[in-house]
Structure formats: structure tokens, C-alpha cells
Structure 1
Amino acid sequence: MFKKLFTPFSIGECEIPNRLVVPAMVTNYCTEDGEATEQYIAYHEEKAKGGWGLIITEDYPVNEHAMGYSNVAGLWKDEQIAGHKELTDRVHKYSSKIFCQIYHAGRQSGPSVNGGVTPVAPSAIACPWLQSVPKELTKDEIKEIITQFGNSALRAKKSGFDGIEIHAGHGYLIAEFLSTYANKRSDEYGGCFDNRARFLKEIISEVRMNVGADFPILVRFSADECVPGGRDISESRVLATLLEEWGADALHVSSGVYGDHNKGIVSPMYVNHAWTVDFANEIKQLVDIPVITANRINDPRMADSILVMNKADFIAMGRGSLADPYLPSKAQSGDLTSIRYCIGCLQGCVMKLTAGEAVTCLVNPSLGQEYRIDYSKTDAPRNMIVIGGGPAGLEASRVLAMRGHKVQLFDKNNFLGGQFKSAAFPPAKGELSTYIAWLISELEKYDVSVNLNSEITKEDIDSLQPDVVVVATGGAPVRPPIKGIDGNNVYFAEDVLLGNVSIGNNVIIAGGGEVGSETAAHLALQSKKISIVEMREDILLDLDGVNAFNLTLILDEYKVNRYTGSKIVEIMEDGVVLENETGTQKVNGDSVVLALGYAPKNNLVSELAGSAYEVQVIGGATKTSNALVASREGFELALNY
């Protein structure tokens, strides 16, 4: 099945057992002082167990004020070595190699995460995301940071790492010096390309002096920064040849800088798979050292095809490794359907970080919990009934069955997935269905009894004599008391997405949140005229900036009308009446789609009160949220039985 993916290849004098790489990804699993925790170590160890050829750790700041997140690992002082030596020792129990990525966050930081100091940069220009105006570095301060890179690299070698990756991409400090997008200096560290590259050249020299000639040095950089005025592939070709000349042992070709408008770094589901591979291919034509490619590659056969075409030597799968740390071993055994594929949602891996929290994963709720999870069979199997087949109910059923309980799952629909099924219908979201398909296959593997078209009652439950009932019935669409809302031209968004109803060609969407806007995009692609009505001052206010930007592009392209700051006060056969600060107006339309949120559907809970069996309520049946929360709640509940 695979021609190159599982063949060894060397970086410098370090032989990597296969071509699959876990790139550096911030997790926020360490202490604020950069110490490696058991959570952090077990997270990486799980990937080594899963068969990844090379694991590259998250950004290790070179001093205590160089970090972009609050709980990243660090090697800026000798006292941190011991904990990270434990990490490398644990990884080396398996065949994986592990490199340490070192960096300085530069302006992509803030006082709240870097010890209370003002961020630094080549020039005093704020980061688009974090927005702290940085202090422009003096030449003496530049020299001090260069020395710190060398010292951190030496500590990494003492910690047992197999190599170093210098992070010169993604808009961090080195990338800022490289790019006229962020570097407006006119001294020897700014201006022409050679001046802008001087900082990186001196860092590589300093690191090499500290680690020796036989210790591999990777350099990661953005081939295209994807912003106006940023570096692009034309300059990156030149940079690549210089990096080889300066002594780099391999190049890790990525893209992007921080910002909602940037499709690099955190490529969402709206971005094509493997979209930066041709950048790596161009670089590979110019150098004789190995090249790593990345960005939205999550299928092992896709990875192998890139290698076979000789476009890269290694394939980095960041979020793919979060979704399934065992992707390599499953792929090598030919068991591709058991892989939990990344769906590109960004909910747990990126948006948790931007909120200052630790990384999680919608499709892999065990992420970050490896250090405390016990999947061993229970000594006291119980008769479990799970009501509701959305992400919460499916995850609960899966883990309960894994642990040896007898599980019966009931759902009133003729399908599993709950609201997550319809969530896969809007543009660019089709991969969401892969998670539900994976869960269904897992239920089959563990002999869960699945009962569809089953509106189960208390009497039904009593007759089954369960020990525990898990209510995961989710939420029901909200239907507010609007005049005319019961008309024949009014539909719920979920029914529209699933194709349960036929609607007209001039559609008004009530609600400009994520569901309403995605439904609008779905219908706009069907050549319907769409208008969104939203009470707040703008649409998509609760969606993360990256996905909101990409969804808005679709709405703009298909000329979806928006009436914001407006409330629907009446629905008629030929349109709606809006009320806003200017008065009232009528918007014509032949169909109205309601996307006004969900309310918990938990009538059964009160009916089951006082029963002889335990009753647990999870997911949207307790409080409407999202699939990330639902899958975690189902997972956590099941672990406790």
C-alpha cells in the first residue's frame, strides 16, 4: 500500500525510522516555568507508541520572556534539563526520534504570557492577533538573544534530544527579522535581504558552535507568509540555498504568520489539503538536504503520494497526530478505517490556545489526558443504556463498551450523529462526517447494540432493567413567539441542511450565528437568493476569527444579503417584517429558515427522577454548547464507570 512512507531516511547523522513527522505544536501542558509535566511527557510518549518517525516538540523559548503562550516547555536554564531528559528517555523506549524546537516569539506575545514584559521585535509594529506594541530591539539585545539560542540548543542536547529545530517561520522573532512585513530597520539587521537574514545566520552559527558538527539542525520557515508585504516563495528559494550553505541539515517548509486573514499555520477546513506541498517541491529542487512539508495533510496515502512524486522527504502531520497518535501504526498495518482523521475544525487545537487554555481535540477527547486514562476492563460490568446518538452519546457508548460494559444505544432518528450530521452539509465541512463514521465503526467493533427509530419511554427503560441510563438527547431548535412563525413557509435549519424539506428560491435566514450563516452558504451554493437577519450588530460574532473570515468570503462571493441590528417581528407568506433602530421594513422572500439556537431537550430526565437506576445527563441535554464539549463529556463520563 505504501511505497516510501515507512522507509527510513536520515537528517544529518540521525536516521529517522519512517517519513512521518509530528511538527511542533503548542499544547500548554507544561508549568509556567517551562518544566515538563507528566501530562506533557505522556502526550509525546503516546505518539512514540503510535509509531511516528520524528517528533518535534513545541516552541521552547530561549529566555523566560520569549514565550508566546503561558505554559510552554523551556530550556532557558539548567534546572529545566532533568524534566526534559525524562521526556526524551520515555520517547526513546520506542523507535521514534525526538527533536527540540527552539524559538523566540517576538511580537507574537504579550505581557500576560511572557513574564509581564513588553514583547520585542525588529520594529515597533503590533501583532494582528495579540496586538501588544513591541519594543524595537537594540543591537546589543539582538546579540544577547543569539547567545541564548546557542545556550538553549546545548541544553537540548544535554537533555537527550536527537536534534534541534530553529523556528524561523510563522511570524515569530526570526521570521520578523526576515520579512519586510515586520522589519522596517535600516541598520545591518534590516533593509536588503542579506541584512534581514543576518539574525538567522548568526543564530545558526551560534547553535552549531554549541552543539557540534554531528548534531542535526533543522530550520523551519514560512515559504509564503500569505500577507500583503510578507515574504513569498521567490525569496524563500534564495533563503533555502543559504540555509544549506550555513549548515542546516534539513528544511521544514511551512507557511503563514499570525492573523485571522491568514490561511497559513492554522489552515482551517476551508483550505485545500496539502496546499503548500508545491512550495516544498520548489525548495527541494534547490537543495541536497532533506525537506519536510506540512499543512492539511492527514491521510497516509496522500502523504505517500507526495513522497513518491519526490516533492518532499518527510511529511509533517500536526493536527493529524492530535486526532490519532496511532495513525502511523494503523496505516502500516493496513487498518486505515480505524484512523481518527482530523476534520480541520480548529475548536480544540487552536481556539483553546487563543483562549489561553490547554489543547484538546474534538475527535480525540483523550488528548492531553494520556497520563491519567485507564482503558482496562472493569471488574464490575454494568447494563448501560445511552439515549441519543450525537457526539456525546456516541463517545459515551464507545468508551463504556471498551471498558467491558453492556451498552444499548437508542436514537429517535433513522441515523446516528445528531446535529453533527447536518453540520457536515455546509460548504467545506464534509469531513465532519468522518468522525461520526469512525464512531459508528467503533460501536460495531465493541458490539454496542444500536437501536434507531426508537423514541424510548420510561416504561421501555424500566423493562430493560438497566444499572445506568445516560441521557444524551441534545437540544431542540428554538422557535420564539414571532407572529406567523407557524406558517407553512417556515423551516428549521437542520431540516433544510439534511434535505428533509423543499424550500423556495428567495430565502430569509433568521439568525446570523454559525448555523444560520453556514445554512446561508449552503443554500447560496444552490443558486438561491439568500438574506440573513441578525439581531446583533454583526454576523458570526461567536465563531473564531479564522473560520469566520473564510465563511464570510463565501457569503460575500455569493452575494448573501445581511440585515444586522434587526429583529423579525412578523413572518408572512411573501417575506418578513423587520424592526431596527430606523423603524420597520419588509424583506421579500418565499421561505424563512430558523437558526435561532437550541434549548436542552431533557423532558425524559424529570420522568426518570426517582428510578431505581442511576441517571446521568450529558451534552446538549444539560446545556447547549458544541461538539467539542459534547464529545469530552461523553468520554469523561464513561471513564468513571
Structure 2
Amino acid sequence: MTPDQDLLFSPIRIGTLELPARLFKTATAETRATADGFVTDALVAFYRLLAMGDTPLIITGNIYVSRQGKSAPRQVGADHDDKIPGLKRITDKVHAHGGHIFAQLNHCGRQVIPDFVGATDVVSPSDRKDLLTGTQPRALTEAEIATIVADFGAAARRCKAAGFDGVQMHSANGYLLSQFLTPYTNRRGDRYGGELEARTRFGCEVLAAIRAEVGPDFPVIIKMNGHDDLWLRRGLKTHALVEAARIFEAAGVDAVEISVGHYESGFPMVRGTFEHCLRAMVQGSMAHLPFFRRHGMRLFRPFVALMSNWLWKGREGFNLDYTPSFKSRLSIPVICLGGFRTRAAMTDALERGLCDAVSAGRPFLADPFFFAHTRDQTRGPRCVDCNACVGHLGAQPADCYHPYVKTEKAAMLERMGIEAEVLPPVS
């Protein structure tokens, strides 16, 4: 079967933007910016490779809309106009290779390790402690909510000025927008809490602020959970998240990308094996946890890895458990993230009508030419779901850290005459 006969390689429209194929690069935190959030040569090089691989749509790693919303070191920001020239370097490079790129806008809320990122003011809809990190947020006031809404709008304006083709609101995986949606983390008694319609108010206000800055024809998409996966807690199940998506669609969102879980959920959003992942975490981000959590993770890491391997075995398209419910109730495109590795699985998901497009993260870290190799049915470095990349996020630049696959990737780039990336040191 040739690409033009395969639904995976057929055009799709997201708002006013037509894309030539339906396999996208999802967001992965790059850890390549300067300490104060400016674009570096290494960050530009990261996106240049993805664009050289003909990736139809690239979604950036989360870009913080304010310093308060920063989730990890070396994260890029769109919090001031002085970030625009650097961000434009990224879009210029992607466009030079014929690609399209969306900026993922985010505020981390309570999902932060304060010592890791230097945070002094951790906020959330309510003062519910994060059980994984032990981080204790304070509840936002309504005036502070209005400030954050304006921060999202201003960040979107800067991203449009920098040449991005669209923006994505990050309302999945337990970050601030997701925290407002979920009853477990939103226990407010004012107009932002209570019933679902009130809990979507913050997201709708963010969307309205973005639209006011970028206009009606600029693509705006949203990333949401298909299930909160917060067992024995008041997390959202699929039917409620579909209703939230319908509210966001009515408010003007152009597409929805489906993920799963919060940080407290464990590893449902990545799946695979976790020995390498947890080893990297205890040496990196988790080294900044409070004393008992830090040493508990070091002591029980082998057991946690065994349990994680059992609970979250790798499989292709694991969020296809949720996307049909979104497809049946929405008229906008539904993008499915989650474990896709093969052309056959991606094409099958589209042909069965389970989603309109698919996205992937880890395969693009193993092989920035993943799209081209999938389209041309040629062999490239293949992700083996070891999740070492996930363990290093925030502490080391996003890359493949599996010894064999990393070596294969380096050899591929050398054959192509592409110089090895110069990565910034991460303190």
C-alpha cells in the first residue's frame, strides 16, 4: 500500500490549517532552554531534526505562561515579549523544512517539586497536597485566576507573533487546567468549583483570552485526559471528560488530543518498563523530593519498578480505550496519543474510526525521522519503551537514553551527515 492509499497519509484540517498527514509529534519536555527560559541553539536543533523528518505537525514541550507556572529547569517560556525572537528561531527552522508547529501552553499548578525548579509560590484550585511529591499548594484567589487567564492570552499572542501555526492548551495529566476540571483537586465553593460546568469555567476563560489575542482563525487545540486514572479518589471518568470536551468545543476549540492520568496516577500515560526510568528519576528530579519521600523512593525503587511493569505494560494505542467516546460526541478532530509504534496499528485505529489522527512522543526521541521512516516503510531506530527518557525529563535534555537505540540513532545521523547535537549542561 502506498502512502496516498493509506488514511494515515491523507490530509486533515485542524481549524483553518490543513495538514498533509495524520501522524504528529506530541509534546515532550525538551530541557534545552536557558535557566531563565530563553531558546538555545540546542532547542532549535531539536526541532530542526523533527522538521527534516517531514513531521506534519510538531507540538512543542510545555511552554510556561508565567514564571509561577514553570514545572522544570531549562523549560522554555513565553512569559515576556523578550522571548519572541528566540521562539521565532524555532518556527523559522521548522517552516524552512515545510513543517508546521504548535506551541503547547501550560501552567503546572501543584505538580511541581519546589526545590527542583526553584518555586516559592505553588498554587492550585484548592490546597490539596500532591501525594506523589508532597508539594503543598495554596488555593488561588479569583483575582489570581484572572491574572493567570491573562497570562495564557498574552503567551498565545507572543507565540503567534513568533510564527507558530497554532497553540495547544495543556489540560491533561494533572497540570493546572486539568486540576480545575478534576473534583479531587478542585474543591472550591465559588464559581470555579462544584458542578462540571463551573469546573470548566477556568478553561473556557483561558480559551476566550487566547482567542481575544490571536483571533478566530488561528488554530487552538486542547490536550485532555480520556480518564483521570485516580482510583479511590474523585477523579474524572471518560463520560465526564467527554462532556467537558463538548463545552470546550462549543467555546471554540479546534481539536482535542487525548492522554490519560495525573502524576499521582503513576505511569498510565507512558507504559512499558520502568527500571531505567526510576533509576534516572531518583538521581534527577526525585533527588529534590522531601527527605522521607526521596529516601523511600531509593529504598523501594526495585519494588516500584516491578509493580509498574505489571500495572502499565506497553501496548500500542492504549488511549484508544477512550477516544471512541470523544469521537461519537464531538465534531472536531480527535487525536489519540499513547504507545503507537507501527504503521499498521496507526492505520487500523484511523480506519476503524477510533480517532482522526495519532500522535507519538517517545518514538520521535528515538528517531526524529520516525514519520518519514513510517511513511516510506524503511527501518530507523526504534523505541523499546524502556522509559529512560521519561526518567531524565527535567534533569537532562529529552533524548533516547537506551544504550543500543541511542547508538543506532547516532549512527543514522552520522550517515546522513548531521552533526551531533551540542546539549547544554543541566544543573
Q: How does 1:384-395 map to 2 (within 5 A)?
A: 391=404, 395=407
Name which of 188, 193, 197 aligns with 1:194.
197
Instruction: Report the structure, 1 or 2, having the larger helix content.
Output: 2
Task: Indicate conservation of the 8 Å contact 1:110/1:118, yes or no.
Answer: no
Deviations 1:558-607 (A, max 9, x none): xxxxxxxxxxxxxxxxxxxxxxxxxxxxxxxxxxxxxxxxxxxxxxxxxx
Task: Indicate conservation of the 8 Å contact 2:381/2:408, yes or no.
Answer: no
Which residue in 2 is equivalent to 1:151?
154
**Whole-angstrom CA distance in 2 between matches of 1:397 and 1:319:** 13
Name which of 346, 363, 369 aligns with 1:320.
363
Q: Say yes or no: does 1:286 pair with 2:289.
A: no
**Whole-angstrom CA distance in 2 between matches of 1:187 and 1:35:** 37
Task: Indicate conservation of the 8 Å contact 2:365/2:398, yes or no.
Answer: no
Task: Indicate conservation of the 8 Å contact 1:101/1:167, yes or no.
Answer: yes
> Counterpart amino acid of 2:383?
C
TM-fit CA distance, 1:82:
0.1
**Structure 1 spans left out of the alignment, 5+ residues:** 366-390, 405-631, 637-641
Report sequence identity in percent: 30
> Counterpart amino acid of 2:123?
V
Name which of 24, 42, 51 aligns with 1:39.
42
Q: TM-score, normalised by structure 2?
A: 0.83
Q: TM-score, normalised by structure 1?
A: 0.56
Deviations 1:174-197 (A, max 9, x none): 100100121111111111111111
Q: How has the CA–CA distance of structure 1 residues 28 and 212 changed in structure 2, closer, same or farther, with 3 Å as cutoff?
A: same
Which residue in 1 is equivalent to 2:239?
234
Partner of 2:83, secondary structure, is helix
Partner of 1:238, secondary structure, is helix
Deviations 1:123-173 (A, max 9, x none): 112223332101111111001000100000000000000001000110000
Instruction: Report the structure, 1 or 2, having the larger strand content.
Output: 1
Which residue in 1 is equivalent to 2:396?
357
Which residue in 2 is equivalent to 1:176?
179
Which residue in 1 is equivalent to 2:343?
300
Deviations 1:339-365 (A, max 9, x none): 222111111x111126x23223134x7
TM-fit CA distance, 1:32:
1.6
Name which of 264, 271, 291 aligns with 2:268.
264
Which residue in 2 is equivalent to 1:331?
374
TM-fit CA distance, 1:118:
2.5
Task: Indicate conservation of the 8 Å contact 1:30/1:36, yes or no.
Answer: yes
Name which of 234, 239, 248 aligns with 1:243.
248
**Whole-angstrom CA distance in 2 between matches of 1:53 and 1:397:** 21
Task: Indicate conservation of the 8 Å contact 1:128/1:258, yes or no.
Answer: no
TM-fit CA distance, 1:234:
1.3
**Whole-angstrom CA distance in 2 between matches of 1:18 and 1:210:** 29
Q: How has the CA–CA distance of structure 1 residues 398 and 142 changed in structure 2, closer, same or farther, with 3 Å as cutoff?
A: closer
**Whole-angstrom CA distance in 2 between matches of 1:113 and 1:207:** 30
Task: Indicate conservation of the 8 Å contact 2:366/2:399, yes or no.
Answer: no
Structure showing greater Rg: 1
Deviations 1:57-83 (A, max 9, x none): 011111012111111111100000000
Q: How has the CA–CA distance of structure 1 residues 114 and 48 changed in structure 2, closer, same or farther, with 3 Å as cutoff?
A: same
Which residue in 2 is equivalent to 1:11?
14
**Whole-angstrom CA distance in 1 between matches of 2:382 and 2:407:** 15
Which residue in 1 is equivalent to 2:103?
100
Name which of 74, 77, 84 aligns with 2:77.
74
Q: How has the CA–CA distance of structure 1 residues 224 and 92 changed in structure 2, closer, same or farther, with 3 Å as cutoff?
A: same
**Whole-angstrom CA distance in 2 between matches of 1:199 and 1:12:** 22
Partner of 2:105, secondary structure, is strand
Which residue in 1 is equivalent to 2:307?
none
Which residue in 2 is equivalent to 1:486?
none
Which protein has greater RCO, CA pairs closer than 8 Å, 6+ apart?
A: 2
Deviations 1:434-490 (A, max 9, x none): xxxxxxxxxxxxxxxxxxxxxxxxxxxxxxxxxxxxxxxxxxxxxxxxxxxxxxxxx
